[in-house]
Structure 1
Amino acid sequence: MSDNLPAIPGMSGGSSSDNGFIALSARTAALASAALFLKEGMHLLRAHMGRNASKAARLSEMCDAAEVEPQFTAMILDASAALTRVAEASGEMTNAADAVDNDARGFNSAHDQEYRGVYEAVNGSGVQQAKPGFYRRTGRRR
């Protein structure tokens, strides 16, 4: 792997093809897919925690009406508030996952636009190409 890229779990190390056009496209597509999966899970969690928070609030009201010890009614109300906070936090996580999904798809699209032609030209030439960075100017020329 390149020294300027972090190791990616589950990817083999050392091969120059790990950072190739197709591999990078596959990784960003996998990232977008994982973000989408997370987003869907967070929607389900938010709905579930919201329902539980409502039920706990209703139970607290019923306990108050039944004159249950105030400390227990307050504990149930606290649990309802905590469940509401979890629902809100899962909504924030959904927004973050949505941003990752959009960014990964945008990156994949920009990467494809920028490098697809180069990739096709290199693979269509049938000639061994220089290693990445060979054509970069090093600053040693005068």
Structure 2
Amino acid sequence: MSELVPRPGRLPMGSHDEPTFLGLVARTTALTTAALALKEGMWALRRRMESDARHADLMGDQCVAAEVEPKFTNLIHEAGSELRAVAEASGALANASDVVQTAAQSLHDAHQAEYRGVYEAVNSSGVQQAKPGFYRTR
């Protein structure tokens, strides 16, 4: 006899092994949204770090012109270099999150194209559907 998976009512989230249509829609939407937010945040961080690095260079040049102690001027220039490294790393992370966003959106679109019609047909039929696993063949 086949093992039937219990399904409580019409909750959108199924078990971890067999998520429902709406559960997958929610998960792919959340992943796409989070990746987009991360990407935008990383681009904003990159712009800020590049601006701060330019200001550090300007301040370092002004300190040189004012004949400030060289060790302090070197620290300012070093801080500018580190800010540029952060800007570069945040740009790389923004690019990676763009890839994740694109992949998540593609998964979402493919899932919608494949299963939206089935989901709509099942919900519009008004007939109680068999529990998951009932139609499974061995």
TM bucket normalised to smaller: 0.7 to 0.9
Residue in structure 1 matched with residue 115 of structure 2 by the alignment = 115
* Percent of aligned pairs sharing the same letter: 54
Residue in structure 2 matched with residue 52 of structure 1 by the alignment = 52
Task: Output the amino acid matched with 2:37.
Answer: F
Which runs of 4 or more aligned residues in structure 1 lie more than 4 Å from their structure 2 counterparts after TM superposition?
A: none
Greater RCO, CA 8 A, separation 6+: 2
Alpha-carbon shift at residue 131 of structure 1 (Å): 2.5
Residue in structure 2 matched with residue 89 of structure 1 by the alignment = 89
Alpha-carbon shift at residue 17 of structure 1 (Å): 3.1
Q: In the aligned structure 2, how far is the partner of 1:136 from the partner of 1:24?
A: 20
Q: In the aligned structure 1, how far is the partner of 2:22 from the partner of 2:92?
A: 32
Q: In the aligned structure 1, how far is the partner of 2:34 from the partner of 2:47?
A: 20
Residue in structure 1 matched with residue 3 of structure 2 by the alignment = none
Task: Output the amino acid matched with 1:116.
Answer: R
Provide the aligned length of Structure 1 versus Structure 2.
Answer: 125
Alpha-carbon shift at residue 120 of structure 1 (Å): 1.7
Alpha-carbon shift at residue 137 of structure 1 (Å): 2.8
Alpha-carbon shift at residue 67 of structure 1 (Å): 2.1
17-26 or 127-136, which moves further after superposition?
127-136
Please list every run of 5 or more consecutive structure 2 residues that lacks an aligned counterpart in the other structure: 1-6, 14-18
Task: Output the amino acid matched with 1:17.
Answer: P
Residue in structure 2 matched with residue 79 of structure 1 by the alignment = 79
TM-score by structure 2 length? 0.80
Q: Does 1:23 align with 2:18?
A: no
Please list every run of 5 or more consecutive structure 1 residues that lacks an aligned counterpart in the other structure: 1-13
34-43 or 107-116, which moves further after superposition?
34-43
Q: In the aligned structure 2, how far is the partner of 1:136 from the partner of 1:64?
A: 77
The Cα offsets for residues 8-32 of structure 1, whole Å up to 9 and x where unpaired, read as: xxxxxx9563022122112211221
Q: In the aligned structure 2, how far is the partner of 1:130 from the partner of 1:23?
A: 19
TM-score by structure 1 length? 0.78
